[in-house]
A and B are shown apart, each in its own frame.
Chain A
């Protein structure tokens, strides 16, 4: 058992080292940080525009740095209106607004970006080594389960590192570009929202690594992951429509069941303030990640390499 855990750790370390050496790591970090930086900039722009409009309405001078009129915007419901489509409705938005809005805003972007980044990087992790046969150097030294888990954790570490750096960037930019954010509260909100982004991303990571275990061609694995990722919301919409039409009959129940396997269906749960809902969302995420990973591993375990 200890040997197995150590092997998994070494494969993960190797995976992370390879990502750094091939500059994939730097690319991932840059892509993610670029997205997070853009979200803070966009927030500042939207807030400045809303505050300018409010100042004009009230006949007061516009602020030089956005954020000074945030309490008024919160009071008149504008901010709640922005947030509600992203967090599962007005009630959820209302409940969340005791936290710094910038933290919530960055959290929305992080939940969208991180799964995309992980799908992009993790879907080639095993299949590229199968294609070049460099996986044979590992196969003679450790088990297939340790290799697969090592790759999974290596990719997860890559995502977590990017997410952690994203917190620092968003915090620094937020304090610099937007006024009225208590530094500690903003930092904590960013940490919590980023942690939930990582949790939300787990099924996408499991899906990408699973595809990489399933398909020997890295491009094929990437295409499968990307198609699944981008068509997931569409599939969810089709399933909801079918459920609406068929109600509780066999087709409706089947569609309801299939929808359980679509990770985007749990987006709103991660914005709940109810610890029970959050725990259930985390559990479902971990379960889905395990199912996707196991589906790929079942084939990887038996296949000729």
Chain B
């Protein structure tokens, strides 16, 4: 699918949105490179769904600009067939079947009549619903309905996909399958995904945007945000050897952080540090590259807004 020449699929600058007295978005700014899978993270009320809704054109921004696929703010005609979205809490029409819904939605997004059947079959198969294509939505489980909405976001191979809590309500096997499906889009489709499951985002995304109180508080490559490119955390089992410096408040935890001018690579520095620790009798139980995304987000944000 085509994207903008600049290589930036989504650019948001100074986005503002107020609901009554609540400032939901406060000069929010971030960008998403073309072909990347970007996680949108933040506590409840941080403005994730509001941001997604403005990008999709459901909500009108009070200020700021959104440039989607280099064609300005979302417009159903301009962006026809290029944007797919999984809205967080939209209910599916219960009397229809997945095939009926996806067919009419596919038609509306400009999929030619000759291709629509194949496109619908293919996307339903990709969410493991091929055998329930003709069952009424009302007879499907919550997880199956969720997968129909995921299919609605992916039908027609859009260039940009917005997913708000895509694995909510899915069992572990379904969630894993969905993550694998999304990961397979990397490089050809830009995905902006919001979720509270940070471990899931850490394994799926190559980029992350953290927002809090309607502002972007951190943005960058996943490895840079988690410190995976410059940090190693080593956990020791007691008894701890004397003379080893631990992280404040976390006895047994040793943090190795590469400084900017360190000539060594991270594996070299890690090997050297481990050798030092083993030499003084330390019992190493875990070596982890970087901090968890969860730890970073908790450090960056102020909790529920």
Interface residues of A (CB under 8 A from B): 3-4, 7, 10-11, 13-14, 17-18, 21-22, 132-143, 302, 304-305
Contact residue among B77, B95, B100, B152 (Cβ-Cβ distance under 8 Å from A137): B152
Check A304–B77 contact: CB distance below 8 A. no
User: Which of B56, B89, B91, B101 contacts A139, CB < 8 Å?
Assistant: B56
Given contacts A140-B56, A141-B108, A305-B58, contact A134 B85 (CB under 8 A): no
Q: Which of B89, B92, B105 contacts A141 (CB 8 A)?
A: B105
A302 / chain B contacts, CB cutoff of 8 Å: 60
Residues from chain A with Cβ under 8 Å of B205 in the complex: none
Residue picked from B56, B60, B76, B96, most chain A C-beta under 10 Å: B76
Whether A141 pairs with B95 at a CB distance below 8 angstroms is no
User: What number of residue pairs across chains A and B have CB atoms under 8 A from each other?
Assistant: 74
Q: Which 6 residue pairs across A and B have the least CB separation, nearest first?
A: A21-B95, A141-B108, A133-B90, A132-B91, A136-B87, A136-B90
Which chain A residue lies CB-closest to B100?
Answer: A17
**Beta-carbon contact of B56 and A136 below 8 Å:** yes
Whole-angstrom CA separation of A13 from B103 in the bound complex:
12
Give B158's nearest chain A residue, CB to CB. Answer: A140
Given contacts A140-B56, A140-B76, A304-B60, contact A133 B91 (CB under 8 A): yes
Q: B70 → chain A, closest Cβ, in Å? A: 18
- Which chain A residue has the least Cβ–Cβ distance from B57? A139
In the complex, A3→B110 CA distance in Å? 9
Q: Complex Cα distance A132/B91, Å?
A: 6
Min distance, Cβ A233 to any Cβ of chain B, angstroms: 36
Q: Determine how close the nearest CB of chain A comes to the CB of B193; give it in whole angstroms.
A: 16
- Please tell me if the beta carbons of B107 and A143 are within 8 angstroms of each other in the complex: no
- How far apart are the CA atoms of A139 and B85 in the complex, in Å? 10
B109 CB contacts on chain A under 8 angstroms: 140-141
- State whether the Cβ of B104 lies closer than 8 Å to any Cβ in chain A: yes
* A297 CB → nearest B CB, Å: 16
Interface residues contributed by chain B, number (CB under 8 Å):
30
Do A22 and B91 contact each other (CB < 8 Å), given the known contacts A139-B58, A142-B108, A143-B77?
A: no
Residue of A nearest to B53 (CB): A304
Chain A residues near B93: list those with CB within 8 A.
18, 21, 134
B76: chain A residues at CB < 8 Å are 139-143
Name the distance in Å between B58's Cβ and chain A's nearest Cβ.
5
- Within the complex, the shortest CB–CB distance from A2 to chain B, in Å, comes to 12
A14, A137, A140 pick with most chain B CB within 10 angstroms: A140
* Chain B, residue nearest A132 (CB): B91
With A10-B107, A140-B57, A304-B59 as known contacts, state yes or no: A133 contacts B95, CB within 8 Å: no
**Whose C-beta in chain B lies nearest to the C-beta of A21?**
B95
Question: Assuming A18-B95, A133-B91, A136-B90, is B108 touching A10 (CB within 8 A)?
Answer: yes
Q: Beyond A142-B108, A304-B60, is A137–B96 a contact (Cβ under 8 Å)?
A: no
Bound complex: CA A142 to CA B80 (Å): 7
Most buried by B among A3, A139, A302: A139
A21 touches B96 (CB 8 A): yes
Report which of A14, A132, A136, A139 forms a contact with B104, defined as CB distance below 8 A.
A14
B83 within 8 A of A: yes
The answer to the question of B84 belonging to the interface, with a C-beta cut-off of 8 Å to chain A, is yes
Docked pose: A134 CA to B88 CA in angstroms: 11
Q: Give A303 Cβ to nearest chain B Cβ, in Å.
A: 8
Q: Shortest distance in angstroms between A147's beta carbon and chain B's nearest beta carbon?
A: 9
In the complex the two chains form, what is the Cα distance from A7 to B105 in whole Å? 10
